[in-house]
Structure 1
Amino acid sequence: MPVVRPGAHLHARKPARVRALMSCLTRVSGAVVLSLVSLLSAPSGAHAAVAGGKPIRILVGAPAGGTTDTLARTIAQEMSQALDQPVLVENRPGAGGNIAADLVAKSPADGTTLLMSFTSHTINATLYKKLPFDPIQDFTPITLVATVPSVLVATPKLPANNIPELIRLAKSEPGKLNFGIGSVGSSVHLAGDMFKMMTGTYIVNIPYKGTTPAITDLLAGQVDLMFASTINVAPHVKAGKLKVLGVTSPTPLPQFPGALPIGATVKGFESSAWFGLFGPANLPPEITQALFQAARHGLESPAVRKRLENDGAQPSAMPPEAFATFVKQDVKRWATVVRYSGAQPE
């Protein structure tokens, strides 16, 4: 005799439409549970507001229009969307970026005041005999935003079209040519000194208070040459207002066809600038991570990556711990170059 389970006769007598309704409700309930689980397990990451959603300021120690400013404004827009709070950029140029850095070093460690700095942050550790802050101890590294190779550009009228021709011209007329220097002690400044040191040439440095005024005078023919980031000069090269004599990267750059690496002529020559985001010292780990995730969210956006790469910048999104190690090593690396060059801040 077959065994009948308790309640089986009740289920068998349910109308088909009732059974269908119960099956649908079961599926809906399962979907709701899965949605709740997904919501609860989703990482807060970049979407956790910092300091209760107060406006965040990114201070830039360079004038508007330069590479540091351009990158700061790009990342500020992306971070604002990721954090759902205002992220503003303020330019505080002067003293090779030290004015902005000092303001951030002395700011509350709540994540509302950040610094978009550049290679000078580690160069200045040796360039300046005394700083009002410690470039390592007084900051919390958040992320390396990008690295940018430089190019050696010249006015179209310069009677040299490549590095070998430039070296011959400079040696034939020592002191006649000059370099526009956007910022004393910057990576592009030291790239020029490195070039002179490695080629045995004498080219006069003409310092400016920022990249933009230096490029303005270069375009006007007031200076002959300039090492500058790809971001700042690409539009002028494309328009035929400047010509590229060489690139500082170890390989050619696609946006400057025909321009060879300087290292192909001057063996061992290579130089790239870096740009990174810092907070004051003792920034709480959860705030550091929220800011890093917001910056990474933007840097990993295909549109942002394409925009930066088209300008010759290589997005990084290096994690805080790795960036902290990078900064310490970079201080040591530039110390040797600065001492050898004898560069002095103005």
Structure 2
Amino acid sequence: MSTVRVLHILMFAFCGMAAAQPYPSKPIRVVMGFPPGTTVDVLMRPIAQRLGEAFGQQLVLDNRPGATGIIATEMVVRAPADGYTLLATPGSALTSSPHLHTKIAFDTLRDLKPVIQLGAFAYVLIAHPGVPAKSVKELVALARAKPGVLTYGSTGLGSGFHLAGELFGSMAKINLVHVPYKGGPAVITDMLGGRIDLMFYSLAVVQPQIRAGRLRAIAVTGLARDPLLPEVPTMAEAGLPKYEIGGWHGLFAPANTPNAVVTQLNAAIARILGTVEIKELWISQGMGIVSGSPEAFAALVKSDYEKYGALIRSAGIKPE
């Protein structure tokens, strides 16, 4: 047998061995489009630690903030579809932000493969104590009596909190003035200072101020009351039937990632989400555990993408 033929046989044998290596055989990078300390980062770190222990491989968390998550998403979309580059993100970065940008290098439904939903949460509608309304009905009556006077803040144009306000205004047939901010700390500071009247926000973040009486909880936006503030009604209970909006965080892979890899990741993370420690941490963050199959998560992503796109268009919000 010639030397060349032997080399060919050895080369094919090596390639076969490499292809047969179980996943994962090297560290996995998880890209996040938001800074350390944000909710998606807080949730992903304990998952990464436990998943790394289960897989015997390190999970490297890579924070790439900017453009409401678009920069990080574009990085993952361009990465090899082999399961070694993943995206952890809040849902709004994929379901509402893309509708607000004319120059964007990915399609949420085409270029990403949902792996697992990490958690879901409702918002809370809060008012400054100086606002003379303690319920949704009183707030609607006040807004109708003073159209275009009441203000509500958000963490930015097209954010989930902004869209919650747009949905409220549309369903209640009231005119609220939207005041966008660049991030959560600024909007909370102005809310506490009485410079804006209302805000939709994550309950876990503003719960201390609500308990202290510095902010007033009007209603939560989910289908059920939140265990963090069980005395606060849902928007539907308070007079707006069918009002429901909220957020979620999830893990994604590039679109052509093998189904076997996605299934393996989904099963391993679902086991982690079922542990007592993670459940307790999620409750402290105002987060509900959903997990579920990749297919169920994909259906949610598609539904939210279409719902928020329609809401943005009906509100007349122009893409930049």
Instruction: Answer whether contact 2:116 2:252 (CA < 8 A) is retained.
Output: yes
In the alignment, structure 1 segments of 5+ residues that lack a partner are 1-47
Q: CA deviation at 1:106?
A: 1.0
Instruction: Answer whether contact 2:24 2:55 (CA < 8 A) is retained.
Output: no
Instruction: Answer whether contact 1:67 1:229 (CA < 8 A) is retained.
Output: no
Alignment match, 1:169: 142
Q: In 1, distance between residues paired with 2:204 and 2:231?
A: 18
Matched, 1:272 2:246: yes
Q: 1:69 aligns with which of 33, 41, 44?
A: 41
Q: Which residue type is aligned with residue 149 of structure 2?
A: K
SS at match of 1:314: coil
Normalising by structure 2, report the TM-score.
0.83
- The CA deviation string for residues 200-232 of structure 1, in whole angstroms up to 9 with x for no partner, is 222211112223432233234332221112232
In the alignment, structure 2 segments of 5+ residues that lack a partner are 1-20
Instruction: Answer whether contact 2:95 2:301 (CA < 8 A) is retained.
Output: yes
Q: In 2, distance between residues paired with 1:78 and 1:161?
A: 44
Q: 2:31 aligns with which of 47, 55, 59?
A: 59
C-alpha spacing 1:275/1:191, structure 2 compared with 1 (3 Å): same
Alignment of 1:1-346 (within 5 A): 50-54=23-27, 56-120=28-92, 121-264=94-237, 265-345=239-319
Q: CA deviation at 1:345?
A: 4.3
Q: In 2, distance between residues paired with 1:235 and 1:130?
A: 39
Q: In 2, distance between residues paired with 1:230 and 1:88?
A: 29
Q: In 2, distance between residues paired with 1:172 and 1:295?
A: 50
Instruction: Answer whether contact 1:116 1:276 (CA < 8 A) is retained.
Output: yes
Bigger shift: residues 124-133 or 159-168: 124-133
- The CA deviation string for residues 168-192 of structure 1, in whole angstroms up to 9 with x for no partner, is 2222333332211113222221110
SS at match of 1:312: coil
Q: CA deviation at 1:263?
A: 1.5
Q: CA deviation at 1:104?
A: 1.0
Q: CA deviation at 1:62?
A: 3.0
SS at match of 1:132: coil
C-alpha spacing 1:63/1:177, structure 2 compared with 1 (3 Å): farther
C-alpha spacing 1:76/1:232, structure 2 compared with 1 (3 Å): farther
> Which has the larger Rg?
1
Instruction: Answer whether contact 1:185 1:345 (CA < 8 A) is retained.
Output: no
- The CA deviation string for residues 105-145 of structure 1, in whole angstroms up to 9 with x for no partner, is 11222333211122321224444344211112211211111
Q: Which residue type is aligned with residue 272 of structure 2?
A: G
Alignment match, 1:8: none
Cα RMSD, aligned residues only: 2.4
Alignment match, 2:4: none
Instruction: Answer whether contact 2:143 2:149 (CA < 8 A) is retained.
Output: yes
Aligned residues between the structures: 298
Q: CA deviation at 1:195?
A: 0.6
Q: CA deviation at 1:49?
A: 7.7
